[in-house]
């Protein structure tokens, strides 16, 4: 069974962290409706959605991806790069402890889950404003023994590594080549975002299809032309908070029994 951990949009989302976009009004009800539809989309794609209650005191807490990196045998609870977001990890750790043993990133390390792109047993970790070398080294120490290779990747002009590159098929990456050095990914097939849609590289691959913002029609066409099944969702309100489609869930496999007991 695939579990998707999500969290209701905070009523304080208007006070979210912003790094690259100007602040624009976020209509809470519209954001919650779009988020609900996103969850329905995950359900339709076969995920068992486990929605955590809103945390009104954490404006960005809907973006659960940043609080943890979930692997088969272990969940790494992060130390988010933005100080305002550090407390979000407490409830995420509690929820994940039903499914995985936990490890933690500690100071001086910082790491956001949005900076971690997993390709099989390789974990690419963005060196960004939110994740640092100490965070990368801690990930390496925690995961090398499990057979994972952890590779730091410089990220520029965007929030996270996964703002710049995500996996959209077994052998295919969707990327904005202006924001990363694409050479580190070797010979995998690449689809570049349409130049008019620089924020379109964040897509969420699931076994049933690739969840993707409906607003990026030109990049969607590029993916469809490459034979990828794209499932569009409207996430325009969450995008005003610099959130994408990967950041609103933590998806991992778990035996059904764990879900019942948690």
The residues annotated as belonging to the active site are 160, 247
Write out the binding residues for ligand CIR, residues 98-117 only, by CB under 6 A: 114
Write out the binding residues for ligand CIR, residues 13-52 only, by CB under 6 A: 16-17, 19
Q: Token pair for residue 92?
A: 């995420």
Phi, psi of 91 (to 5 degrees): -70, -30
With CA atoms as reference, report the closest residue to 19 among 152, 181, 112, 130. 130
Residue 244 engages ligand CIR in binding (rule: CB under 6 A): yes
Q: Is the dihedral of CA 169, 241, 72, 118 positive or negative?
A: positive
Query: Which residue, 160 or 222, has its beta carbon nearer to ligand CIR?
Result: 160
Quote the Cα angle for 254-124-144, to 5°. 70
Q: Smallest distance, Å, CB 81 to ligand CIR?
A: 8
Q: How far apart are CA 10 and CA 30, in angstroms?
A: 12
- Which residue number places its CB atom closest to ligand CIR? 114
Query: Which residue, 82 or 93, has its beta carbon nearer to ligand CIR?
Result: 82
Give the torsion through C-alpha atoms of 213, 8, 157, 111, to 10 deg. -130
Query: Which residue, 142 or 164, has its beta carbon nearer to ligand CIR?
Result: 164
Residue 160 engages ligand CIR in binding (rule: CB under 6 A): yes
Coil, helix or strand for 123? strand
Residue 213 engages ligand CIR in binding (rule: CB under 6 A): no
By CB under 6 A, name the binding residues for ligand CIR: 16-17, 19, 60, 63, 65-66, 82, 85, 114, 160, 241-244, 247
């Amino acid at each position: 069974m695939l579990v998707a951990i999500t969290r209701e949009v905070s009523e304080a989302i208007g006070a979210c962290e912003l790094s690259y976009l100007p602040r624009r009004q976020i209509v809470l009800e519209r954001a919650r409706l779009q988020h609900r539809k996103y969850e329905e989309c995950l359900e339709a794609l076969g995920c068992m959605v486990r929605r955590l209650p809103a945390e009104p005191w954490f404006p960005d807490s809907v973006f659960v991806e940043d609080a943890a990196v979930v692997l088969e045998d272990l969940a790494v609870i992060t130390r988010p790069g933005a100080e305002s977001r550090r407390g979000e990890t407490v409830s995420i750790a509690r929820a994940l402890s039903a499914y995985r043993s936990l490890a933690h990133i500690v100071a001086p390390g910082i790491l956001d889950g949005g900076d971690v792109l997993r390709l099989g047993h390789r974990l690419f970790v963005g060196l960004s404003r939110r994740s640092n070398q100490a965070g990368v080294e801690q990930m390496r120490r925690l995961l090398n023994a499990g057979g994972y290779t952890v590779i730091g990747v410089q990220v520029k002009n965007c929030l996270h590594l996964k703002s710049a590159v995500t996996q959209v098929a077994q052998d295919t990456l969707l990327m904005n080549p202006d924001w990363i050095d694409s050479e580190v990914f070797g010979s995998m097939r690449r689809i570049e975002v349409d130049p008019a849609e620089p924020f379109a590289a964040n897509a969420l691959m699931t076994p049933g299809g690739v969840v993707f913002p409906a607003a990026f029609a030109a990049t969607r066409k590029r993916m469809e032309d490459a034979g990828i099944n794209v499932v569009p969702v409207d996430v325009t309100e969450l995008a005003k908070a610099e959130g994408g489609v990967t950041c609103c869930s933590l998806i991992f496999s778990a035996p059904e029994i764990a879900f019942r007991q948690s």
